[in-house]
Amino acid sequence: MEDHITPRRVVIVGGGFAGLFAVRSLRNHPVAITLVDRAGHHLFQPLLYQCATGILSEGQIAVPLRDIFKRQRNVRCVLAEVTGFDPSQHRVLARRPGGERIEFGYDDLIVATGVGQSYFGHDEFARWAPGMKTVADALAIRRRVFGAFELAETATTVAGRRRWLTFALVGAGPTGVELAGQLRELAAKTLEAEFRTVRSEDARVLLFDGGDAPLASFGPKLSARAARSLEHLGVELHMGARVTEVDQDGLVAVDASGEETRHDVGTVLWTAGVQAPPVAAALASATGAKCDRAGRILVAPDLTVPGHPNICVVGDLMSLDRLPGVAEVAMQSGLYAARRIKRRLTGHPLRKPFRYHDLGSAAYISRGRAVISVGPLRFGGFPGWVAWLFVHIAFLTGFRNRVGAILTWFLAFTRDIRRERIFTMRQIETDRDAYSARPVSRTVAPAGRERPS
């Protein structure tokens, strides 16, 4: 009803791939874009595990949104966390760091916040088993991983050393498989010559998943190939096992027969499941939208919230036709949402529904080993690894990050050099929530074990 207003006010919530491609697509169009993001940077999540294991720095996989859009004059970047919506008044409600409230008016709204980690109803596991969705998560995992090797070096008992050198990952999707492979490479190659009492063969990596095989979404052929590669690296596969308990001393897993087994583990990492952030519930409450089991918004074929043609939900936060939560879906849905706005500017609304074009999937296992699924093509090994390199270089944002990643990978893959291994014994992000009015004080125990003070 406000199509005559120029420029149209477009609010985009989230600076991931969906938000990024939507903003870029609206370049040189008569719109005033407000890009709201709680972190202020665009993050290439598929490479977080390399940041966590010391290959890439956070600066190589994340770029400030202001830097990306400094030449796009119709964009205003805002550091804030969206907390609610008022569709009747076309307002987005948010809070700035420190808790101060702020609002934004819109004519068109694109919600692209992405999703968070799911613990399947056991959020208490997060204290002992961090997920990997943000830069803060990757840095916290880096501290736990390298801290575990340090504590193993000075352990006074064999049992203590064995526990610190045991790593467990929950979830055998791409993130879990990639992280498991890196942990074994880290122990067997990079760190082997640096410690005096820690031996590479003592480092155990356990991979748990309730399914029958790792990388099940890649099909049985590539899944079996991934399993063989992981076993060759020394990863211990526990398929058909559900993790039912996690604490400071390890975890409990239940196998297909119902038998419980206790595993003494020094470091547990969670790479299974996703759930929508609180902003999804706020949008559903304000618009009457329905959500799926993970809390994602059920959208119409044109990616709009039913009954609200000027509100689009895109990327991982949308639920439509069981589309996977991958970067390609986010990019294409962000472009589609922007195209809808451009067509409305011309007075010719877009009638065609969103159609996803599958560009394939890739997972890195270890140096020289990866698996690629592109349409009917299924291949792995060294050709898959080379394809993986090209794909990820292409998806990295910015020339500097691409060149930096290439040089870093060259050193890591040819000389076993991981330069990004610095960690602190007190992580900044554990001290307080930047969007809370009151700081939360914490005391950090050795190797990153945190307890309220």
Is 178 catalytic? The answer is yes
**Exactly one of 178, 185, 231, 259 is catalytic; which is it?**
178
Handedness of CA 310, 315, 317, 320 (dihedral sign): positive
Residue carrying structure tokens 């005391």: 443
Centroid of chain to Cα 398: 19
Which two structure tokens, joined as six digits, stand for 174? 């791409």
What 3-state class would DSSP assign to 185?
A: helix
> What is each CA distance from 311 to 86, 337, 396, 401, in whole angstroms?
11, 9, 28, 33
Cα distances (angstroms) measured from residue 104 to each of 80, 83, 88, 201, 225? 11, 12, 13, 56, 50
Hey, what are 36's tokens? 């709201």
- Name the residue among 450, 451, 447, 388 with its Cα closest to residue 150: 447
In SS3 terms, 88-140 reads as CCCEEEEECCCCCEEEEECCEEEECCCCEECCCCCHHHHHCCCCCCCHHHHHH
Distances (CA, A) of 188 to 9, 52, 53, 344, 376: 54, 17, 13, 57, 35
How many H-runs (helices) and E-runs (strands) does the chain carry?
12, 27
Report the catalytic residues.
178
